[in-house]
Chain A
């Protein structure tokens, strides 16, 4: 068997039966990475020796018959904004190029305790701001289905790593679609859990009220397993909640008692690619064939989602990223001589901060910091930031109303399949619209899932998005599993050899 064509759950079965060792599994993935990473560029940092060392430890544990964790020996790729103790954590920014956190994120502690083997830190848009990885300070990742196209973003490296079979599973983060959009464009499964479901401790914040960590995988069995491990209350994250964590893998194959599906009317308007539209409608027919009742529902305020998002997220980012000023954190400029007479008037400390931030941040990060600073400024906050908070409440109400009549909402994850490099870099607004269908779930705090549901004529993956009420991940996964069992899209892999 080729372990790199497997999933976490099947690999675990093989390892637990003794058919293959964690070291062999890890080595197989490392070999594949060595062969293909030059083309895909999914990773920012790898330590093959450390990965193999950990694999050998797991093997020793298994041989000794000791208890092993639920992910013992499974390689995993980690988005480079999750803090890993002693290991570079750069957020794909020049600003944090040399940052090695003295602590692990809570999710890292949990996957380590479960015996997962970190295979590397993955590329992303700088500070998770972007939809293509083109905003990475270290160059973009490639879509394994078509290397001339973007893998999506911001968790593009984590999505590409799984799609390219560099690891069976990976962790990403989703602020406005940063897990679901790359999952859709890379033909894999990506879940953004309910806000507060997974601890954010150790996630380097972009927009704190929207950020949420979630899993990438080839199928829902792996999604359920990884979610179970990372979810739950964390005393270090005041916003994480004590709601019990269901045994997602255990109930996954039980079809939901109620299968009332709502088709979001607003997600089928202008800008939706006809091929994507057709794939989603075909997916709906699959559900109908499985006995689902399907009705159209409306989220009337979703058209205000993107404007509200691009006020709330930048506002929070302008504050979250303020600490990177060269004083304690972040790149420090060597030369901060005044570049204008006005600058000469400023204190040297301020000049140092300005020069360091000018050098350390890329253009998209700067754009959002400026947007957010403006949105929060005296005299504008009521008009922009506070107005956006009101819209946020209306969007949440839309979902609450919709979920009175249906169990799950579905629609496309993205308006189009993966686009080409450079296609949208000149037009930030066009780039922002690639998150148009994913943004509202972040604003409402509810879980959203993207699963593979088709390929375009040119062979690019298409994602089906499913949304559920807050903390209804179990229902969400079980409903998605109905589709997964009826189709074989999740088994498709890019022809990357």
Chain B
């Protein structure tokens, strides 16, 4: 079995706007059916669409960030079809003059370093989302038009992705980028990010390349299902070809739906009769002229994107690829938070440890955005600097941070009230060592008699010394003084 998987993606992204694409009606998710509607989004007779400039600008921002060329003169078209998901029976979309063409998606490599690269984009265009149909019991279908008219950006890629893992990675990177741009919340579960994959395989047979019929996979509700469905589909197409020998020339494009519980794709439309949408220019809207100044203004509003940020975290801060990725993939706010802590401490690796272990743990436990984390980056940097200056040891630092998180009080007040101060006075520590040895005579015997490993005995004694000092001793100093004392006693 020797074949290459050919994958192209079609991604639909709902843009985060307060109002719909062509009317002022709201866009909140999760409201009772048909309550997010108005005469325009219901397509009532006599109503007219008016373009939401914010939505267009968000789409523009995305396309520019993806390296696409912006069309200087773009227009709207009607896509006509009879289906109750849009009461007008046409969708306002873009046909032959999409607002952007070209550009690319970044594909981060897999953990093992395989895969990765770029996938070219065909186009990005803007349209109105359709309503949602639920096919219920008793043969009835329910129509919810809350979603109808929400700004929807369609990102169409070239068939340049070659593995299911890359397809998943590419989508995850796209989601991260869109979230960094602040153009969409990209919740696959809520449908604000939706993906269809076009898949076929190229089989090498006796030096000939044989292409199987293209299948469009729909109903991909998670990143994992994208990967699984493509993998399944490639294997299915190979088996199918072995059975019937049909190639791309013998069968039309087929639409198949992914069933996550069953782990298989099922035929949705057997014969894809080329749907005739009778596109024509939308006469109720005026074309949009995007000049260079507008593009420049939007470009200036785009911050550092994840791909660049990972690289910078590695080069500027010396973080490992793994650490850089963990900090970047949590979203822009987390990466910004880390950036601030790193800059204020100069201790990049240490800052990375604190943010990853102490901050993100709490953020995840409490399911809060980092903006709601009670300790700001300046306060955390201050605390890390105190540890750096040996005013506190690491454990004390952790305890202080925990109290800052719980009480919201300032670091000084907590240190004062809790008596957190690292004991670095040698005589105090030596006294504690002697007290520990005196109350644990067996330990020294074990060490001398070689009954236990020296490291184990030292570890035990270090714990006892810390206990004696109420956990406040400078651990490094305890270590060196204990070593010296033991060397003295065993020599």
- Residues of A with C-beta under 8 A to B51: 238
Within 8 A of A (CB), among B77-130: 78, 80, 82, 84, 87-90
Shortest beta-carbon distance from B40 to chain A in Å? 8
Choose, from B197-205, B273-281, B347-355, B410-418, the stretch at the interface: B273-281
New A-B contacts (16) at CB < 8 Å, excluding given A101-B45, A239-B286: A89-B46, A101-B44, A202-B46, A202-B47, A203-B46, A205-B45, A205-B284, A238-B285, A315-B280, A323-B43, A325-B82, A328-B42, A328-B84, A329-B43, A350-B82, A353-B82
- Tell me the dominant secondary structure on chain B's binding face: loop
- Tell me the dominant secondary structure on chain A's binding face: loop
Is A99 on the interface with B (CB-CB < 8 A)? yes
Do B280 and A319 have beta carbons less than 8 Å apart? Answer: yes
Given known A-B contacts A235-B50, A319-B278, A350-B82, A204 and B45 have beta carbons under 8 A apart? yes
Do B48 and A201 have beta carbons less than 8 Å apart? Answer: yes
Give chain B's interface residues, CB within 8 Å of chain A: 39, 42-51, 78, 80, 82, 84, 87-90, 141, 143, 274, 276, 278-280, 283-286
CA gap between A295 and B42 in the complex, in Å: 52
Do B45 and A329 have beta carbons less than 8 Å apart? Answer: yes
- Residues of B with C-beta under 8 A to A207: 283
Partner of A200, one of B48, B141, B278, B285: B48
Do B87 and A239 have beta carbons less than 8 Å apart? Answer: no
Is A285 on the interface with B (CB-CB < 8 A)? no
For B139, the closest partner residue in chain A by CB is A348
Query: Inter-chain contact count A-B, CB under 8 Å?
Result: 104
Is A485 on the interface with B (CB-CB < 8 A)? no
Do A328 and B48 have beta carbons less than 8 Å apart? Answer: no
Is A6 on the interface with B (CB-CB < 8 A)? no
CA gap between A166 and B188 in the complex, in Å: 61
Do A329 and B44 have beta carbons less than 8 Å apart? Answer: yes
Given known A-B contacts A201-B48, A319-B80, A378 and B284 have beta carbons under 8 A apart? no
For B88, the closest partner residue in chain A by CB is A323
The 3 closest A-B pairs by CB, nearest first: A322-B89, A376-B278, A209-B283
For A324, the closest partner residue in chain B by CB is B45
For A378, the closest partner residue in chain B by CB is B276
For A105, the closest partner residue in chain B by CB is B46
Is A123 on the interface with B (CB-CB < 8 A)? no
Is A446 on the interface with B (CB-CB < 8 A)? no
CA gap between A208 and B141 in the complex, in Å: 32
Give 14 pairs: A residue, B residue, CB < 8 Å, sorted on A. A99-B45, A101-B44, A103-B47, A201-B46, A205-B46, A208-B283, A238-B48, A239-B283, A318-B80, A318-B278, A319-B90, A319-B280, A327-B87, A376-B80
- Residues of B with C-beta under 8 A to A378: 274, 276, 278
- Residues of B with C-beta under 8 A to A456: none
Do B89 and A325 have beta carbons less than 8 Å apart? Answer: yes
CA gap between A202 and B40 in the complex, in Å: 10
CA gap between A385 and B278 in the complex, in Å: 10
- Residues of B with C-beta under 8 A to A235: 50
Do A327 and B84 have beta carbons less than 8 Å apart? Answer: yes
Do A377 and B276 have beta carbons less than 8 Å apart? Answer: yes
For A202, the closest partner residue in chain B by CB is B46
Shortest beta-carbon distance from B402 to chain A in Å? 55
- Residues of A with C-beta under 8 A to B45: 83, 89, 91, 96, 99, 101, 204-205, 323, 329
Is A435 on the interface with B (CB-CB < 8 A)? no
- Residues of B with C-beta under 8 A to A237: 48, 50
For A372, the closest partner residue in chain B by CB is B278
- Residues of A with C-beta under 8 A to B279: 376, 381
Is A316 on the interface with B (CB-CB < 8 A)? yes
- Residues of B with C-beta under 8 A to A83: 45-46
CA gap between A103 and B284 in the complex, in Å: 19
- Residues of B with C-beta under 8 A to A209: 283
- Residues of B with C-beta under 8 A to A236: 48, 50
Do B46 and A204 have beta carbons less than 8 Å apart? Answer: yes
Partner of A322, one of B42, B49, B82, B280: B82
Is A373 on the interface with B (CB-CB < 8 A)? yes
- Residues of A with C-beta under 8 A to B283: 207-209, 239, 316
- Residues of B with C-beta under 8 A to A349: 84, 141
- Residues of B with C-beta under 8 A to A327: 84, 87, 143
Interface centre among B84, B90, B283, B286 (most CB of A within 10 A): B283
- Residues of B with C-beta under 8 A to A202: 46-47
- Residues of B with C-beta under 8 A to A203: 46
CA gap between A83 and B40 in the complex, in Å: 13
Given known A-B contacts A322-B80, A327-B84, A101 and B284 have beta carbons under 8 A apart? no
Given known A-B contacts A316-B283, A325-B82, A376-B278, A101 and B46 have beta carbons under 8 A apart? yes
CA gap between A315 and B80 in the complex, in Å: 11
For B79, the closest partner residue in chain A by CB is A319
CA gap between A99 and B280 in the complex, in Å: 28
Is A341 on the interface with B (CB-CB < 8 A)? no
- Residues of A with C-beta under 8 A to B49: 238
CA gap between A451 and B463 in the complex, in Å: 106
Is A495 on the interface with B (CB-CB < 8 A)? no
For B83, the closest partner residue in chain A by CB is A349
Given known A-B contacts A238-B49, A350-B82, A322 and B90 have beta carbons under 8 A apart? yes
CA gap between A462 and B156 in the complex, in Å: 59
- Residues of B with C-beta under 8 A to A269: none
Binary interface profile of A, 269-294, with partner B (CB < 8 Å = 1, else 0)? 00000000000000000000000000
- Residues of B with C-beta under 8 A to A373: 278
Binary interface profile of A, 313-336, with partner B (CB < 8 Å = 1, else 0)? 001101100110101110000000
Shortest beta-carbon distance from A329 to chain B in Å? 6
- Residues of B with C-beta under 8 A to A103: 39, 44, 46-47
Within 8 A of B (CB), among A237-260: 237-239
Is A102 on the interface with B (CB-CB < 8 A)? yes
Do A208 and B284 have beta carbons less than 8 Å apart? Answer: yes
CA gap between A393 and B42 in the complex, in Å: 34
Shortest beta-carbon distance from A95 to chain B in Å? 10
Shortest beta-carbon distance from A345 to chain B in Å? 13
- Residues of A with C-beta under 8 A to B90: 319, 322
CA gap between A62 and B46 in the complex, in Å: 34
CA gap between A202 and B43 in the complex, in Å: 12
- Residues of A with C-beta under 8 A to B276: 377-378
- Residues of A with C-beta under 8 A to B44: 101-103, 329
For B80, the closest partner residue in chain A by CB is A319
Within 8 A of B (CB), among A85-105: 89, 91, 96, 99, 101-103, 105
- Residues of B with C-beta under 8 A to A105: 46
CA gap between A272 and B78 in the complex, in Å: 39
Shortest beta-carbon distance from B94 to chain A in Å? 16
Shortest beta-carbon distance from A380 to chain B in Å? 10
Within 8 A of B (CB), among A383-405: 385
- Residues of A with C-beta under 8 A to B50: 235-238
For A208, the closest partner residue in chain B by CB is B283
CA gap between A96 and B87 in the complex, in Å: 15
CA gap between A237 and B22 in the complex, in Å: 11
Do B46 and A323 have beta carbons less than 8 Å apart? Answer: no
For B49, the closest partner residue in chain A by CB is A238
- Residues of B with C-beta under 8 A to A96: 45
For B89, the closest partner residue in chain A by CB is A322
For A211, the closest partner residue in chain B by CB is B283
Given known A-B contacts A319-B280, A322-B90, A381-B280, A201 and B78 have beta carbons under 8 A apart? no
- Residues of A with C-beta under 8 A to B42: 328
For A385, the closest partner residue in chain B by CB is B280
- Residues of A with C-beta under 8 A to B80: 318-319, 322, 376
CA gap between A316 and B51 in the complex, in Å: 20
- Residues of B with C-beta under 8 A to A201: 46-48
Do B78 and A323 have beta carbons less than 8 Å apart? Answer: no
For A350, the closest partner residue in chain B by CB is B82
- Residues of A with C-beta under 8 A to B89: 319, 322-323, 325
- Residues of A with C-beta under 8 A to B285: 238-239
